[in-house]
Amino acid sequence: MMKLTDLFDGHWPQTILFDLDGTLVDSAADLTAAVDQMLRELGREMAGEARVREWVGNGVAVLVQRALAGRHDHEAAGPLDEDTYRQALARFFDAYHDHNGLYATVYDGIETFLSQARQQGCRLGVVTNKPAAFTDLLLDQMGLSHWFDITVSGDTLSVKKPHADPLHHALEALGGDAGRALMIGDSVTDVRAARNAGLPVVAVRYGYNYGAPIDSLGAEIVVDSLTELL
């Protein structure tokens, strides 16, 4: 299998950007608890973790829309009633505030990889579609904050992944060069964001890619654990 250093002429990248949910942290149980509480309060059938895992990755607004529609392709279900959506969004934010980090766990191998990357002099950042209100809190609760010099959340800029701007914003803040930078993520959203930003990408198989296998999306390297890159 290709090693990380094979992507950069035998060296480590100068900068590595990480997705958060499904890449660094398994937060599906927290998100499920919040989604199900929201649906229950609205008098609707709860979704359960298996379905929520397939809905995560495009930010809270889309997660709530998918939950209300009960399906991943929420647009095909027709337009949502605006009042219902706004009420649901507010209920989700309240519920997730109470559950963020409660059941989440750091994936195996993450701390080992982050430690090695730091030893190699890499600058590390997080680029997520999760709202800022929850991003740093989750990293703090998981004991991961100290590894990262920048976090770019879904509402830091006016656009989010797969747009290139969040990745470019993080690179600029870290003083990184796009030619020596890498994205690591778990979904088609991350792969597209990396492509749009002109970065190579490593994809992990254990995350949330809307229930689809990630191997066919064209990532330079696909792994079951980040320790395979060492």
Averaged pLDDT of the chain:
96
Q: What is the mean pLDDT of residues 194-210?
A: 96
Question: Does the pLDDT at position 75 exceed 90?
Answer: no
For residue 61, the model assigns a pLDDT of 93
Helix (H, G, I), strand (E, B) or coil at 25: strand
> In the annotation, is 136 catalytic?
no
The answer, yes or no, to whether residue 223 has pLDDT greater than 90, is: yes
**Confidence category of residue 165, pLDDT binned at 50, 70, 90:** very high
User: Which pair of structure tokens corresponds to residue 220?
Assistant: 């330079």
Q: Tell whether the model's pLDDT for residue 26 goes beyond 80.
A: yes
What pLDDT is recorded for position 182? 98
Name the active-site residue from 9, 19, 165, 190.
19
pLDDT for position 148: 98
Going from the N-terminus, what domains does the chain have, and what CATH number goes with each? 4-27+104-229 (3.40.50.1000), 28-99 (1.10.150.240)
Task: Report the share of the chain in percent with pLDDT over 90.
Answer: 92
**pLDDT higher than 80, residue 76:** no
Residue 83 CB-density burial (10 A; 0-12 exposed, 13-18 middle, 19+ buried): exposed
Overall average pLDDT of the 214-228 stretch: 96
- Is the C-alpha dihedral spanning 123, 128, 132, 136 positive or negative? negative
Q: Taking residues 29-35, what's their average pLDDT?
A: 98
> Distances in Å between the alpha carbon of 112 and those of 6, 27, 52, 94?
20, 19, 28, 34
- Residues 72-96 have a mean pLDDT of 91
Q: What does the alpha-carbon distance between residue 121 and residue 108 come to, in Å, rounded to a whole number?
A: 22
